[in-house]
Structure 1
Amino acid sequence: MDRVDAFGDDALGDLDAVGAVEALRGGSVSATELVDAAIARAEAVNPALNGLAYEAFERARARARQATPYGGYFDGVPSFIKDNVAVAGMPTREGADAWEARPAPADGDFARAYLATGLVPLGKTQLSEFGFSASAEHPRLGPVRNPWNVEHTAGASSSGSGAFVAAGVVPIAHANDGGGSIRIPAACNGLVGLKPSRGRLPLDKNVRQMPLRIVHNGVLTRSVRDTAAFYREMERIVAGPKLPPVGDVTGPGAERLHVAVCTRSIARDSAPEIVELTLKTATLLEELGHRVSVIDNPIPARFIDDFLLYWSFLAFALVRGGQRMFGETFDRSRLDNLTLGLERHAARNLVRLPTALARLARTRRITSRLHGTYDVLLTPTLADVTPRIGHLDPTADYQQVIDRLIEWVAFTPLQNVTGEPAISLPLAHSASGLPVGMMFSAPLGHDARLLALAYELEQARPWRTISD
């Protein structure tokens, strides 16, 4: 197995983000040393992983030399931002090369809050074109590879961030999720990935204007405490939404939960190995004193067609409005087959879109009834093991790619539609040694419940990192 491991005997060592904060405050390392270590690691592994979309190394060094300009909790901790949000002075390429991207004149709403935590961005990470595919395999920009085995995908549109955190380049990186792209790279790369409740974190204007706000910002980390600390700090920065606060979650909760377990997605049965690993996780929950019930999937099959139509409509808006959004250099002929196929699917079915949107909006009625009985829902994050590079090749026939996407990304889109929180935890490994994620979801606003459960599971079954 061809692993890529950036961990070493430098200022970062094997520190997570909270550990780096403690080292900074204790005086054993400086922000400059942490940033220099992360840059050296990025330079060492990026040729193999291809996770870097835009380099801002000198800017990061200059930022590290400053005297806490933000005063945020993570001040001085190196990180990356995914290349689909606006950061002042950096271009936004959206995982495409179909136009000449120019530096953004100002931070978007999300970057403004993210940077206020004190995190130091080394640049931007690569994604699939516009985030439409669950594997970043651009025909000209190249694939983003999984550090556990470079023959496999790093998963979804936050794949660059996932690959860099798992490989040890940085302890924490931005990710966002419109159909699973926080949770999928968490599952593929052995990370913690919480898609928060809708409204928990700010969105840039372009995604706030969507008819149905399926996109959620977040982070990828190697530890539950890093994810919990990030949401605690963002809650101190961002004006409070109409949601129960996350607060400062620092360990397992005392409450014993009623957990529903479902291994069948809307589209298909999970692969036998995935079913077995999910049921082993259910057994662990029972051993910890939680009540577990196995259920059938309550979501109607039409959800797949409705979500695909809305997903396609987003591609339609981007392709048809490309010159207006990205400038006169926009060239649709440089887009991949998946994006163009989605655009065609939407064009043929636009008359059905209002009905599809109305049905999607009603999906939360089903999950609300489910959560009236169960505190948490456990499913696999993905219906099968992480595929090899090429399985989701965006230059292949559109129907082949979309069929394979629907089969693999079978569980995660539900919470994008309902807005409910869901977290992927690296609680299992496949027979081939690749990480396998287990996904837990909860009612809207109950992000803290998921973090407390994640702490408990992390303590009960500590997960491996690449360096182990």
Structure 2
Amino acid sequence: MTRSLLSILSGLRFADYVSHDALGLAGLVRSGETSADELLDIALDRIDTVNSAINAVVDVFADTARAQIAQGLPDGPFTGVPFLLKDLFIDLAGTTTTSGAVFLKDTMAKRDSTVAERYRNAGLVIFGKTHSCEFGGSPTTESQLYGVTRNPWNLGYSAGGSSGGSSAAIAAGILPAANGSDAGGSIRSPAATCGLFGLKPTRGRAPLGPARFDGGGGIATVHALTRSVRDSAALLDAVAGPEPGASYASPVQSRPFLDEVQQQPKRLRIAVMPQSLFGDEVAPDCLTAVADAAALCASLGHIVEEAAPDVDAELYLRTRQVMKGAAAATGIHAAERGLGRKATDKDFEQATWEAYRYGLTVTGEDVMRAREAMFALHQQVAQFMTTYDMILSPTTALGPFMVGTMGPEYADDIAGTLRRRASAFTALANMTGQPAMSVPLFWDAANMPVGVQFWGRFAEEATLFQLAGQLERARPWFKRLPSMTLEAAR
């Protein structure tokens, strides 16, 4: 019997499946209305139906997931819910972790990453991995290894990057939430492009180990992309907290983030920053989306005024270049040690190799000065946020863009301006370590999502979740899905 027929005969149809978020699906499992196996059937059937078009999922290990279910799942907030890991530095024992690189295509993980272990402890059924661009270094999920991930809202458009595989899988209805990571906007940008909620946590909030003690010198974080705000909050509750040997951790929250979603926020003072601090051109639809979000916040009683922090732009750009180069050199050298052979320029994409070559010129003093500069930039933004609770900005300066616009065939000197525009509003929050979220409040005239970003104070995800919950109630987006997903649910 085919999996499609099994899905038709099961108690839960795709229309029911896609009408629930992850917590809702877990509730159905808990009540006996469906089972973990039935949910996995639907997710796998949906991959069979749409993945050839969107190319979001690059590895499926259904047998491993079945075995996990058969062994008995932990009693957690997400028990029985299918889940996908991003194929970038997140390990699951016995599966490959390619990080989108041809050089690493046969790399087999020997142990679970801490975050993967915590996902399983929360009851999630991990059954595959999603596409990431090479080393997560691009705002579009296009790689020489796996090809192009396409946006379910319009297959001619990119799903964003580097968590574009996860964003496309969610928008296409494969599952309601998936893992992502973010070192310059890689959760928030694809969320903005695919009409999803995406939050980058505070530095140190979620563990990156045990194989990694730090991510790119402190700029990288790990979390998820979701359709509902409450799923994001509950997933962060499930993984937050230091692991043994952690070099640093975020301050412990006073109550679960899930509780914050239903809390009405205080009257917030919100600084609206429509223009890039670094002189990047901002697309008109991105400006319109920010103006629309500002008006919505004002209608909800918040104080909204245009303002921006005084940031040393030259220091930021120089620091980002040093950290990017150092991370590329460190990553490639680690891959060489793991595989026992030297890499060449044929093993990696042009932009990655360019960053690597620059990284070879970076000295230890350069890295230490860059770390000090990160602290200085954090102080500059933190000082501004003694006056404001949040900053509202575009998520990207670019807006929706076509596949192939800045793919792996282009060197950074050709596509670099577009890549910089894509992260013009997101990457600074990685450097300062503060939490930030992309919220799907606006769609353009072509019915493409254009997210907006809210930056919070350091370690104050609670306030972001409060505002996000309020915005979700004021302008619900959960049922707004691409036509390919809605038509399948009819």
* Fold conserved between structures, TM > 0.5: yes
Q: C-alpha displacement at 1:126, in angstroms?
A: 0.9
Deviates more, 1:108-117 or 1:325-334: 325-334
1:240-319 map, 5 Å: 241-245=250-254, 247=256, 248-267=259-278, 268-302=280-314, 303-319=316-332
Matched residue of 2:374: which SS? helix
Q: Distance in 1 between matches of 2:416 and 2:339?
A: 26
CA contact (8 A) 2:103 2:348 kept: yes
Deviation of 1:8 (Å): 6.1
- C-alpha separation in 1, matches of 2:47 and 2:321: 35
Cα deviation for residue 109 of structure 1 reads 1.7
Q: Alignment partner of 1:260: what SS?
A: strand
Local SS of the residue matching 2:103: coil
What is the CA distance between 1:122 and its match in structure 2? Answer: 1.4
Select between 37-46 and 201-210 the one with higher mean Cα deviation.
Answer: 201-210
Q: Which residue of 1 aligns with 2:438?
A: 424
Q: Is 1:166 the equivalent of 2:171?
A: yes
**Count of aligned pairs between the two proteins:** 461
- Structure 2 distance, partners of 1:321, 1:32, is 38
Instruction: Tell me the secondary structure at the aligned position of residue 372 of structure 1.
Output: coil
* 1:123-134 correspondence to structure 2 within 5 Å: 123-134=128-139
* Matched residue, 2:453: 439
Measure how far apart 1:21 and its partner are. Answer: 1.3
Q: CA deviation at 1:102?
A: 3.5
**Equivalent-residue separation in structure 1 for 2:238 and 2:180 (angstroms):** 16
The residue that corresponds to 1:465 in the other structure is: 481
- Determine the structure 1 residue equivalent to 2:233: 228
In the TM superposition, what is the alpha-carbon distance from 1:249 to its structure 2 partner? 2.3
Q: Provide the C-alpha distance between the structure 2 equivalents of 1:136 and 1:82, rounded to a whole number of angstroms.
A: 11
Whether contact under 8 Å (2:197, 2:439) holds in the other structure is yes
In the alignment, is residue 95 of structure 1 matched against residue 104 of structure 2?
Answer: no
The correspondence of residues 28-177 of structure 1 with structure 2, limited to 5 A, is 28-68=33-73, 70-84=74-88, 85-177=90-182
- Following superposition, the deviation at residue 262 of structure 1 comes to 0.1
Residue type matched to 1:153 in 2? S
Give the Cα–Cα distance (whole angstroms) in 2 for the partners of residues 330 and 341 of structure 1: 13
3-state SS of 1:343 partner: helix
1:338 aligns with 2:343: no
SS class of match (2:441) = strand
Q: 1:152 to 1:56 in 2, by over 3 A?
A: same
Given the alignment of the two structures, is residue 322 of structure 1 paired with residue 335 of structure 2, yes or no? yes
Shift of 1:61: 2.3
**Contact 2:205-2:241 within 8 A present in 1 as well:** no
In structure 1, give the amino acid aligned to 2:262. G
Identity %: 33
2:167–2:194: 8 Å Cα contact kept in structure 1? yes
Give the Å deviation of 1:206. Answer: 4.4
- Whether the 8 Å CA contact 1:264–1:297 is kept in 2: the answer is no
Give 2:290's aligned amino acid. T
1:400 aligned to which of 414, 422, 426: 414
SS of 1:315's partner is helix
Residue of structure 1 in register with 2:360 after alignment: 347
Paired with 2:339 and 2:140, the residues of 1 have a C-alpha distance of 23
Q: Is the 8 A contact 1:312 1:342 kept in 2?
A: yes
Deviation at 1:389, TM superposition (A): 0.6
Superposed CA deviations along residues 439-468 of structure 1, whole A, max 9, x for unmatched, are: 111111110110110011011111222245
Q: Which letter maps to 1:201?
A: A
Residues in 2 aligned to 1:237 and 1:172: alpha-carbon distance in whole angstroms? 23
Task: Tell which deviates more after alignment, 56-65 or 139-148.
Answer: 56-65
Deviation at 1:199, TM superposition (A): 1.5
Which SS does the other structure have where 1:430 is aligned? coil
Contact 2:96 2:105 (C-alpha < 8 Å) held by counterparts: no
Q: Which amino acid is the alignment partner of residue 398 of structure 2?
A: D
Kept in 2: contact 1:394–1:401 (CA 8 A): no
Q: CA deviation at 1:384?
A: 2.0
CA offset at residue 10 of structure 1?
Answer: 5.9
Letter in 1 for 2:328: A
- Moved beyond 6 Å, runs of 4+: 236-240
Q: Which moved further from structure 2: 307-316 or 119-128?
A: 307-316
Secondary structure of 2:440's aligned partner: strand
Shift of 1:40: 0.6
Q: Flag the 1:384–1:241 CA change in 2: closer, same or farther, 3 A.
A: closer
Contact 1:386 1:434 in 2 (8 A): yes
Name the residue aligned to 1:448. 462
Determine if contact 2:142/2:407 at 8 Å carries over to the other structure: yes
Matches of 2:152 and 2:108, distance apart in 1 = 30
Distance 1:317 1:253, change over 3 A: same
User: Following the alignment from structure 1 to structure 2, what is the Cα–Cα distance between the partners of residues 209 and 194?
Assistant: 19
Counterpart of 1:24 in structure 2: which amino acid? V
Read off the aligned partner of 1:345 and give its amino acid letter: Y
Aligned mates of 2:339, 2:260 — CA distance in 1? 41
Bigger shift: residues 381-390 or 261-270 = 261-270
Question: What's the TM-score once normalised by structure 1's chain length?
Answer: 0.93
CA contact (8 A) 1:89 1:104 kept: yes
The CA distance in 1 between the partners of 2:463 and 2:166, in whole Å, is: 25
* Bigger shift: residues 126-135 or 402-411: 402-411
The residue type equivalent to 2:386 in the other structure is G
Gaps of 5+ in 2: 1-11
Task: Give 1:169 shift.
Answer: 0.1
Please state whether the residue corresponding to 2:346 is helix, strand or coil.
helix
Q: 1:92 to 1:25 in 2, by over 3 A?
A: same
- Give the CA RMSD over aligned residues: 2.2
User: Residue 100 and residue 180 in structure 1: after superposition, are their counterparts in 2 closer, same or farther (change >3 A)?
Assistant: closer
Q: Deviations over 1:6-29 (max 9, x none)?
A: x96366242110110111122111
Instruction: Say if 1:35 and 1:64, in contact at 8 Å, map to a contact too.
Output: no
Residue 376 (str. 1) matches residue 390 (str. 2): yes
Partner amino acid, structure 2, of 1:154: A
Q: Give how far 1:362 is off.
A: 1.3
**2:219 paired residue number:** 214
